[in-house]
Amino acid sequence: MKRFILLFGFTLAIKCFAGEAKDEQIHNCPFCMLPIDNVGPPKHLENDTISGFGMNVSQRRSMFKAMGAHRFFQHHHSHIHPHQHQQPHHQKKKRSMICTRFSCRNLASFSVLPKGAQSYVNGKWVPAASGKIFDVYNPYSNELLTKAPDCEVTDAKQAVKAARDAFEHWSLGTTAKQRGAILQKWAQIITEKEKEMGEILTKEMGKPWPEARGEVLFSAGYFEWYAGEARRIYGQIVPSASPNREHFHIREPIGVVAMITPWNFPSAMIARKASAALAAGCSVIVKPAHETPLSALALAQTSEEAGMPAGVFNVLTTSAENLPGISRYLCETTDVDCVSFTGSTRVGKLLLSQSASTVKRVCLELGGNAPFIVFESADLDLAVKGTMSAKVRGSGQTCVSANRIFVHEKIHDKYLDKLKAAVAQQVVGDGMDSKTTQGPLINGKAVEKVEFLLDDALKKGAHLVCGGKRTAASCFQPTIITNVSNNMEIAHTEIFGPIIAIQSFNNEADVLRRANDSRVGLAGYLFSQNMAQIHRVTRRMQVGMIGVNEGLMSCVEAAFGGVKESGLGREGGPQGIDEFTQWKYICVQH
C-alpha cells in the first residue's frame, strides 16, 4: 500500500510539472482528497523574503520542500475580494476545483502537541489539578480547535516548585557549553518541524501560514543565537588599590523566571525570553495567552526532545478568568525571582505594582504608538514597502506597528497613490488559504475596537480612501484614512488593526514635536535620503528602536525594547541576557 501511495504521488508530481494537470484531468489533494490542479506556489510566496522574516534562497527551498504534496497550487491566481473568502476553500472552476489550502489536517495528528488537555510541568504532561478545561478557537472560522487545561494558582505553585528545584542543577551543575548545546538542538528541532508548528500558529492566531512559518523560524533563530551567547556571559577583574587583594565581578543567573506572553507572536515572544533566560542558567515558567496556548505547548514538546532537564522549562495554560489570580501569585511569591511580560502598558503597570512587595526584577515590553515619518526626500517606493511591512504584517496587531503615519505635504498625493495600489494587492481571509496575505483580527472585540477608532476619526473629519469594513468572521479590510488630526482617538491610541492613518506635515521640527507627543516610545520609523536629516531625527526621536528606510527592523541579533511607558529592559541581542543575570562582587585577600 505504501509503495502504491508513493508511486501515485511521484506520478502525479511528474504529470503536474510536465503540464499535464489540465481541467480535463482532475487529481486529488492528498490531505483532504478534494480535487486540485495546476502547479506552483502562490504569487505572494515568490518574493525575496517570506512574509517579513528574512529568508535566503536555501531557506525558501527548504520551506517549499517541506510543503510536500501541497506544492500543487494554482500558479496564476487572480485577486479575490475579501468577502469571497466566506465560501469553501476549494474555489470552483468549470470542470475542476483548486485546492488553495496549505493543509487540512486535524490538530490531533500533530506530533508536537500533547494528547489531551495537558500543561507541561516538571518534564511531564499533566492536566489541571481541578480537571477544568477551556476552549481554544480559530479566530477566522470561530471553529473549536481543541481544549486546554484551565490551570489555577494550585497548578502554578507546582510549576514554581518544579522550577525552583531544577534551578540549582541547571545553573551550577551544567556548563554554559552544555546549556548552549541543548538550545542549539532545540533550534534544530524547531526548524525541522516549522511546517507543523507554523500550521498550529496559523490556526490559533490567524496570520497567514507563510508568515507563521517565518515566525517559527524566527523563534528557532533566538535559540540558536543564545546557544552561542551562553558562552559569552563575561565578568570583570577590577584592579585593586591594595597589593594583596583581588576584585572580581561575576554574573550569575537571577533564578526562577515567570514569563507572561502575548497572543500576537505566540512562538517568537516565548523564544526571545526563554532562550536568553535558559542560556544564563535560569529556570522558566511560561504562562501563554489564553487565545494561543498551543504554540507554547509545541515549544514544550520540542524542548523535551532537545534534552531539556525536567523542571527547567514549564508551560501553564489558563483561561482569561484564572489569569489574574495566577499572574498575581507569580508576581507576589518569593519563589519567583523575575517576571518578564509582553503586553499592554495597563497590564504591565499592574504587574509592576504587584511585584513591588518582593522587589523582584521585572522586565516589561509594553505598548507602542509608533510614528512613521516620510520626508520630502524619501524614496516613495521604499516608503510604501516599509509602510506595508510596518503596518499590515499581522493585520496591524504588533506592538511596533506604524500607528501614526506622517507624510510631507509635498509628496502626500504621490505617496497615497502608490500606497493605494499596494493595499489593493492584499487578500484578506483564512490564514491557511494560499491566496491570503492578511488574516483575521484575534477576535470580535478587536474588530469592535478598530471600528470604534475608525468611526471616531471619520466623524471628526478624516477621509476614508479605501477599505473600512469588517468582512468574514473577524477579518477587517486594510484601510487608508487621510486628514487625521490630533483631536481623534486614533492619533493617540495603539490601533492594533490594519488602519493606515495618515497625517500631513510641512517641516521637520513640527513633525518631531508631534511624533514625540506620546507617553509611550517603543518604535519609530523615518524615510529620507538626507543623511544629515537622518542623524538629526534619529537622535531626537523618543523611542527605543528606529527603522531608517526600513519597515521591518526586528532581528535576533539586536536589542528590542522601548522608553517611557513602553517598558523596562531589553530583549534579544547581547543585551537580552542582561535581564536574567545579576552581578556579584568577590573580594579576595591573599
Please give the distance of CA 156 from its chain centroid, rounded to a whole number: 25
Measured CA distances, 85 to 29, 282, 434, 475, 510 (Å)? 19, 46, 12, 10, 43
Tell the burial category of 84 from Cβ atoms under 10 Å away from its Cβ (0-12, 13-18, 19+): middle
Alpha carbon 169 to its chain's center:
31
What is the full DSSP assignment across 347-374? HHHHHHHHHGGGT-EEEEE----EEEEE
Q: Where are the beta strands (DSSP E) in 116-265?
A: 119-121, 124-126, 133-137, 144-149, 236-238, 245-253, 256-260
* Distance, CA of 537 to CA of 559 (rounded, Å): 20
- Cell 481544549, located at residue: 147
Which residue in the list 204, 365, 494, 579 is annotated as catalytic? Answer: 365
Closest CA to 326 of 351, 307, 305, 308: 351
Report the distance separating Cα 93 and Cα 98, nearest Å: 7
- Phi and psi at residue 169, to the nearest 5°: -65, -40
- Cα–Cα separations (whole angstroms), residue 435 to 21, 31, 209, 430: 20, 18, 10, 9
Closest CA to 151 of 123, 114, 126, 115: 126
All three cell numbers of 472: 468574514
Q: Which residue is it, cell 519609530?
A: 524
Is there a catalytic annotation at residue 365?
yes
**In 3D, which of 315, 297, 47, 99 has the Cα closest to residue 193?**
297
Q: Where are the alpha helices (DSSP H) in 427-470?
A: 444-459
Q: Are 426 and 472 in contact (CB under 8 A)?
A: no
Active site residues: 365
